[in-house]
Structure 1
Amino acid sequence: MNAYLILVCLISLSAAFAYVNHRFIKLPFVIGLFFLATVLSLIVISSRWWDVIHYVQIRDFLGRIELSEVILDIMLGLLLFAGSLHTNWDNIKSQLKPITLFAVLGVALSTIIIGGAFYWVSGLLGLGVGLLHCLIFGALISPTDPIAVLGILTKANVSKKVESTIVGESLFNDGVGVVIFIALLETLKLGNPEIDFSHFGVLFLQEALGGLAFGLALGFSLHALLKSIDNYETEVLLTLAFVMAGYAVSNIMHLSGALAMVVMGLLVGNYKKDKSMSDKTQEYVHKFWELADVLLNAVLFISIAFVLVVIDFEMSYFVIGLLSVLIVLLSRLIVILIPKVLLPKMVNFNYKESAIIIWGGLRGGLSIALVLSLPESRGKDILVIATYCCVVFSILIQGLTVGKVAKYFSRP
């Protein structure tokens, strides 16, 4: 099956699931799609006992699809640009201190906490996952995903301060998480069981600072081009070209394409946009990227659910997967509460607002894509299952209850 037919299947399933969800189940959009796709995955898995031939064919087919490459090399840049384009910089700026703290130091601290706890638990279970693999798991599962939670928080009438913090943190911690992941992965590929902190530091600075600088350069260049003309068809096309080409060039230059797209999106969507785009152009640009965001997220969450089909089941792996959910939740609690206690002036949230931020830190497609991109090994198999357990719990349990949690803690 060629790439076009794969896309046809994904779009058709997305449309069918979206209709069934909206017509009958009425869950939030991406949660409903993920739930229905997971149900279909479980049906496919069960066919190993009643239709072995077709089960093997489907499993082999799904195993050949490079899902991580599609998400990391194509979809991630588009999604991050779309998300940042629609983000109000004034709201982000008002909470910039806690956002920066959570997105940078928070991700680094979360990586260490999750990695250390996972290493200890894997040792207790006799799985013996190496420390570097455990830290890689910490890096890939630490970034939060706003996609599934944003609409729910809006309906729950949470404060703009809380909503802006969750959105801003998730936009930037995706980039930071990817940078830490890449630096750790490059260290792993060197074959040295111990972490080379100097090599890690150089890679981190190159990816992070280079990505931020490149994003600014792209943003100002795109702003200048948009300002020089007034034709919405051309301007929409320019935004698409800058995202696709800019993200590709970032990867070639070993810069953080994720951070570059976030910076470019924020700049284009906020910096003197009335001078660079007419009202008509702004309407078309925002509608185009809003539609692209919905479509890409539908395909993304459908794809994630089918990871379940290609996982090799082993009971001890699922035990550590369930324990990983507890580790990730505990890490989120520590990462949010420690800055609040130690730096109350910088992190100006009460405990009710902190509870919403803690429970609203969902994990999503980025984590799945990163773990699938790891080199083949027994450690990867364990991390894939642990990551999938965390994402399933995050989307289906936290995603479905975060609205109630937000309403409960938002009461006077």
Structure 2
Amino acid sequence: MHDSSLITLIVFVISGLVVLNALSYYSERIMLFPSVIWVLCLGMIYGAVNHFELLHLPEVFLDPNIILFVLVPVLIFAAAKKMCLHHFRKVLKESSILATLGIVISMVGVALVLYWVFHVPLLESLLFGVIVSATDPIAVSAILHESKDLSTERKMLIEGESILNDGFVVAVFATLSVMIFGTEEISLALSGGKLVVNILGALALGVVLGRLARFLLRVWKNKAPSLTVNITLALAFASFLLAETFHFPGVLAVFAGALAFGYRPDENNDKVQGAQEQVWDYLEYIVNSILFFLLGASFFSQASIEIITITLVVIGVVVLFMSRFIALGILSPFLRIEKEKITRQDFWLLNFSGSRGAISIALILLLPNDFSYKPLFLTIAFIMVFVSLLVYPIILKKVL
């Protein structure tokens, strides 16, 4: 007798692959959203049908550990390995400014709204502020992937900033979590020093592992593409897991590892490089689709729908837009693209490429279940994520 759960899983996978092809086909014709955003919408429909018991479907939901330890390393490495270090150096300063000072400004703005409107304590408000201030590199990469109108430097700035600020957010999140939920009191100076050490440690660890992976490929001379894929997969997961073991932000370690491994192929291994790129493109496509589907399907099961009001939605949308708008407004005099001050179009491009995504939801899900503000945080975060993913791509097309 066959296991019914296994058969259900196989049918689910087959149906999903067929639907992905259909979505890719029609998204290219409609040209409204990237295909992964249609996957998100499909996930929301699936979640609604399951929640309201219109059909008996297998329940799916976001597991924060699977997101952070299985899906994120693949997607961050896939995005970072396409970045040429030569081009990224040109926007490193700007990316770093937006990824640190930009996050701090946005975090404070969001925290003040929660503190004044919902009377959430200030430290807890700052925790939520930093979680939803990061632009999700997975969502941003998916939206920019199909854009042909952006210069290399602009893409590098947007994607690089998104990955860097994600790592910065995870580090600040860990620090604030210890201050709120820890049993021992920690001074602000000690927390700040630890934050800097963690960030530098993650970057150093990623660089060491990236160069080690490159060295091993040179020693083990083999023209089979599978060897390169094996090494790069091992690098992606090892850099993330080792960084998390030392309480470093794993996202930054994966980013540094991908850049240190190297963008440019070896001169005599173009065929190997091409095959490896195709495998990574497919991995990115499949994992992205899984993540966006889970994100959409989890809304009805993990958000507190009963507390959603028009006022809450309006506040979420205003906070989503204004937090990044204010940060960019303050920092724009210090930003350069191709040695020129950013234009008005660049300003709006940076603003509306700031999509939020599944990582924000995953970080909130990692908070203790008895944390009284967790349902509120989850619900507002879901609103911000969905608005940014469904509305921002349309506005970006207008900006471009």
The two structures share one fold, judged by TM-score above 0.5: yes
Aligned counterpart, 2:103: 107
Cross-structure match for 1:211: 202
Q: CA 1:279 to 1:359, structure 2 compared with 1: closer, same or farther past 3 Å?
A: same
User: Match of 1:182?
Assistant: 174
Residue 18 of structure 1 corresponds to 20
**Letter in structure 2 aligned against 1:161:** E
1:297-324 residue CA offsets vs partner (Å, 9 max, x unmatched): 0000001112212123233577435412
From 152, 163, 170, the equivalent of 2:162 is 170
Change (3 A) 1:290 1:200: same
Greater shift, 91-100 or 23-32, is seen at 23-32
CA distance in 2, matches of 1:211, 1:372: 23
Alignment of 1:267 onto 2:267: no
Separation in structure 2 between the aligned mates of residue 87 and residue 344 of structure 1, nearest angstrom: 19
1:121 aligns with 2:117: yes
Give the alignment partner of residue 213 of structure 2, picking from 203, 222, 229. Answer: 222
CA deviations 1:128-182 (Å, max 9, x no partner) are x23222211111111213233213432xx13333222111111211111111111
Residues 299 and 6 of structure 1: CA distance in aligned 2, closer, same or farther (over 3 Å): farther
Query: Which residue matches 2:234?
Result: 241
1:97 deviation in Å?
A: 1.9
Q: Secondary structure at the match of 2:355?
A: coil
CA distance in 2, matches of 1:4, 1:371: 31
Please say if residues 37 and 390 of structure 2, whose CA atoms lie closer than 8 Å, have aligned partners that are also in contact.
Answer: yes
1:141 to 113, 116, 132: 132
What is residue 52 of structure 2 aligned with on the other side? 46
The alpha carbon displacement at 1:364 in A equals 1.1
Q: What is the match of residue 41 of structure 2?
A: 35
**1-structure distance, mates of 2:340, 2:164:** 17
Residues 3/186 of structure 1: CA separation in 2 closer, same or farther (3 Å cut): farther
- Taking structure 1 as reference, are residues 347 and 179 closer, same or farther at Cα in structure 2, changes over 3 Å only? farther
Counterpart-to-counterpart distance in 1, 2:109 and 2:186: 16
Query: RMSD across aligned C-alpha pairs, in angstroms?
Result: 2.8
Q: Does residue 366 in structure 1 map to residue 359 in structure 2?
A: yes
Query: TM-score of the superposition, structure 2-length normalised?
Result: 0.87
Shift of 1:9: 7.1
List gaps (5 residues or longer) in structure 2. none
Summarize the Cα distance change of 1:295–1:336 in structure 2 as closer, same or farther, 3 Å threshold: same
2:183 and 2:6 mapped to 1: Cα distance? Answer: 38
Q: Secondary structure at the match of 2:134?
A: coil
CA distance in structure 2 between the aligned counterparts of 1:81 and 1:121, rounded to whole angstroms: 39
Secondary structure at the residue paired with 1:147? helix
Change (3 A) 1:6 1:176: farther
> How many residues align structurally?
386
CA distance in 2, matches of 1:237, 1:274: 17
Q: 1:167-211: CA deviations, max 9, x gaps? A: 11112111111111111112222157x974134224312321110
Q: 1:13 to 1:71 in 2, by over 3 A?
A: farther
- Aligned AA (1:313): I
Write the distance in 1 (CA, Å) between the matches of 2:8 and 2:354: 31
Q: Which residue of 1 aligns with 2:374?
A: 380
| Deviation of the 1:342 alpha carbon | 5.8
Aligned to 2:320: 328
Residues 403/14 of structure 1: CA separation in 2 closer, same or farther (3 Å cut): farther
Q: Distance in 1 between matches of 2:7 and 2:347?
A: 45
- State the secondary structure of the residue aligned to 1:153: coil
Matches within 5 A, 1:244-259: 244-259=237-252
Partner of 1:76: 72
* Matched letter for residue 204 of structure 1: L
Q: CA contact under 8 A between 2:308 and 2:379: conserved in structure 1?
A: no
Output the TM-score relative to the length of structure 1: 0.85
**1:141–1:367 CA contact under 8 A, matched in 2:** yes
Q: How far off its partner does 1:43 sit?
A: 2.6
- 376-385 vs 199-208, greater mean Cα deviation: 199-208
The alpha-carbon distance between structure 1 residues 142 and 10, as it changes in their structure 2 partners (threshold 3 A), is farther
Residues 1:158 and 1:344: Cα distance change in structure 2 (over 3 Å) = closer
- Identical amino acids, percent of aligned pairs: 25
Would the alpha carbon gap of residues 70 and 7 (structure 1) be closer, same or farther in structure 2, given more than 3 Å must change? farther
Per the TM alignment, residue 13 of structure 1 is displaced from its structure 2 partner at its CA by: 5.6
Distance in 2 between residues matched to 1:196 and 1:132, nearest whole Å: 13
- Deviation track 1:328-362 (CA, whole Å, cap 9, x = no partner) reads 21011111121123667988201121111111111
Which structure 1 segments of 5+ residues have no match?
124-128, 407-412
1:13 and 1:374 map into 2 onto residues whose CA distance is 34
